Amino acid sequence: VNSVGGISAFNDGKGLWFNIEFIPLGLDVPKRCKNVKPKSINKVVYIHEDYWLSDMLVKVLEVLKQCDLLEHSGLYSNGQVLDINSLTITYSIPKTRTKDIVLEGEDDFTKMVGQVQAKKNAEGTLVLIENKRTNVPDSDDNDTRQPNGRKKAKKQSQTHESNTEEEEQDRIIKDLQNQYHCEDKACPYNICWPAGTSVNDHVHLTFQHLRLWASAIVVDFIMSSHSY
pLDDT band of 130, cuts 50, 70, 90: very high
Sequence letter at residue 209: H
Residue 2 scores a pLDDT above 50:
no
Higher pLDDT, residue 62 or 225: 62
Q: In what order do the strands lie in the sheet with 123-130?
A: 41-47, 16-23, 123-130, 87-92, 101-102
HEC sequence for the chain? CCCCCCCCCCCCCCCEEEEEEEECCCCCCCCCCCCCCCCCEEEEEEECCCCCHHHHHHHHHHHHCCHHHHHHCCCCCCCCCCCCCCEEEEEECCCCCCCCEECCCHHHHHHHHHHHHHCCCCEEEEEEEECCCCCCCCHHHHCCECCCCCECCCCHHHHHHHHHHHHHHHHHHHHHHHHCECCCCCCCCCEEEECCCCHHHEEECCHHHHHHHHHHHHHHHHHHHHCC
Structural domains in the chain, CATH included, are: 16-130 (3.10.20.90), 167-228 (no CATH)
Candidate from 69-78, 123-132, 141-150 with smallest mean pLDDT: 141-150
The answer to whether 192 and 78 are in contact (CB under 8 A) is no
pLDDT for the residue 41 = 93
pLDDT for the residue 85 = 79
User: pTM here?
Assistant: 0.60
Mean pLDDT of 52-81: 82
Nearest to 89 by CA among 17, 15, 22, 38: 22
In the predicted model, what is the mean pLDDT of the chain? 78
Share of the chain above pLDDT 90, in %: 31
CA dist., res. 169 & res. 217, Å (int): 8
pLDDT band of 37, cuts 50, 70, 90: low
Residue 74 scores a pLDDT above 50:
yes
> What tens digit of pLDDT does each residue of 159-189 get?
445 567 778 888 888 888 888 888 887 877 7
Residue 27 scores a pLDDT above 50:
no
Quote the Cα angle for 135-138-141, to 5°: 130
Cross-strand partners of 51? none
